[in-house]
Amino acid sequence: MTRGHERRITGDVRSRLDELLRLAEQNEGLVTASQARAIGILDSVLARLTQRGKLERVARGVYRIPYYPADRLSQYREAVLWVRSSHGPEDIALSHDTALAVYGISDVNPSQVHITVPKGARLRRRRPKWIVIHRGDLARTNVTTHEGLPVTTVAKSVSHVVNETGRLGLARQAIKDARREGYISAAEAKRLTRQLNDHHRGDGKMQAAKEHPTA
């Protein structure tokens, strides 16, 4: 390979990186292989940039610009992108105790990212160990957007935690914090607390059918 040819390849890679940077800026430093292909960047270019330390592969099909500042929501964004990449489902939501963590209500600190996808959704790639997939068809009223992320509403998140883990103390704290932060109304807090008490007495599962988006 001549020096001129080598410089041309280096220049092409740098140009491609500039394009990826513009794309990643729209999603807090993250970009997917599918997004890159849509602007004409091949997987081989992504591999080359990763080898050179210009990109960091955080999950299959999901890359991060290494020097882009990460924040407490970065891993949640990575999970959402991983599910949606390679023609994955769009109607998804961060859920369960992960949703509580996104809102910052309760002191929950899940070691894995919980995300709910439609029952019939097909995920064609191997799931990273740090992502937990739940299958369920969420009503639109059970999903909202918080900090740019699709997330189950407070009521749905609390019902998930109670019905599937039985952690009533965590649920009570989440309701209290959500009311203090203004995510739910006083009436909604009372309704959820009443349902929580009914569940504790064994009168049935918590429901979230009456909730409304609280973005």
Using pLDDT thresholds of 50, 70 and 90, give the confidence band for residue 208: low
Residue 181, pLDDT score: 95
Residue 198: both structure tokens together:
């009914």
Residue 107: both structure tokens together:
């002191």
User: Which of 50, 161, 46 shows the shortest CA–CA distance to 101?
Assistant: 161
* Residues 196/173, Cβ–Cβ less than 8 Å: no
- Whole-model pTM: value is 0.75
Residue 34, pLDDT score: 83
User: Which of 8, 35, 7 shows the shortest CA–CA distance to 22?
Assistant: 35
Render pLDDT for 133-185 as a digit per residue (tens, 0 to 9): 999 999 999 999 999 899 999 999 999 999 988 899 999 999 999 999 999 99
1 or 12: which leads in pLDDT: 12
3-state secondary structure of 148: coil
214 or 22: which leads in pLDDT: 22
Percent over 90 (pLDDT), the chain: 40
Quote the distance between the C-alpha of residue 113 and its chain's center: 7
* Residues 170/161, Cβ–Cβ less than 8 Å: yes
Using pLDDT thresholds of 50, 70 and 90, give the confidence band for residue 124: confident
Looking at the chain, list the stretches that DSSP marks H as alpha helix, in order from N- to C-terminal side.
3-24, 33-38, 43-51, 74-84, 96-103, 154-165, 168-181, 186-200
Least confident of 37-51, 101-115, 172-186, 191-205: 191-205
Q: What is the mean pLDDT of residues 47-62?
A: 86
Residue 215, pLDDT score: 31
Whether pLDDT at 125 is above 50: yes
